[in-house]
Amino acid sequence: MTEAPELPDLSPDDCHPRAAAALADPFFWSLTDETAPFGNETAHETLTAFRDFRDEHPKKSPIELLDALLERWEVGNAGWDAVDAAEVEALGEEDEYGLLTRDEAILALAFSQIVVEGRLDPEVRRRALLALARQALPALLSAYEGRALERALRIDRMRGILSARWD
């Protein structure tokens, strides 16, 4: 039997002060709640990779990291601008895993940058807001079954945080 991967450290006590102030809702800090930005394995790997990336490349664009992660995971790096319900449904029918993994990764990357640096790259913000628009579609919310309303409310809260000034 294999051991579960170790979860990254994530705490408002050990992050950028701007992140601690802005991310007041406890769900932002959950590593196990699937409705939260860090509540899945993709997000855990993204957070850990972003911390390492920043140590090694303090000035590089986080999009370079995203591109590398998607390539390593063999996930297509397309469809970022799709938000129309029919277009998103078609993307999901073609590659549901890729669609969901891209959205999980960009949301985790956006919140990782806020947590680590207290700022947010404009292109990361743009893609993350588009991911939230997709995630708010009824077809994607339905996957949360009894927690769909909770997920929708958290998407709104995440959208508010990402829309704030982070430069």
- Phi, psi (degrees; rounded to nearest 5) at 101: -65, -40
Q: What's this model's pTM, rounded to 2 decimal places?
A: 0.95
* Residue matched to tokens 């998103």: 88
Q: How many degrees, rounded to 5, is the angle at CA 71 between CA 66 and CA 75? A: 95
**Calpha distance 102→109 (Å, rounded):** 10
> Strand, coil or helix: what is 57?
coil
Q: What is the pLDDT along the chain (167 residues), one digit of tens a residue?
A: 445 567 788 999 999 999 999 999 999 999 999 999 999 999 999 999 999 999 999 999 999 999 999 999 999 999 999 999 999 999 999 999 999 999 999 999 999 999 999 999 999 999 999 999 999 999 999 999 999 999 999 999 999 999 999 98
Give the single-character DSSP code of 58: T
Give the single-character DSSP code of 24: -
Closest alpha carbon to 115 in 35, 37, 58: 37
Which tokens is 98 given? Answer: 């890729």
CA–CA distances in Å: residue 87 to residues 41, 63, 95, 103, 132: 26, 24, 12, 15, 15
* Residue matched to tokens 């990357």: 109
Sign for the CA dihedral angle at 40, 44, 47, 49 comes to negative
Domain residue limits, the chain: 15-163
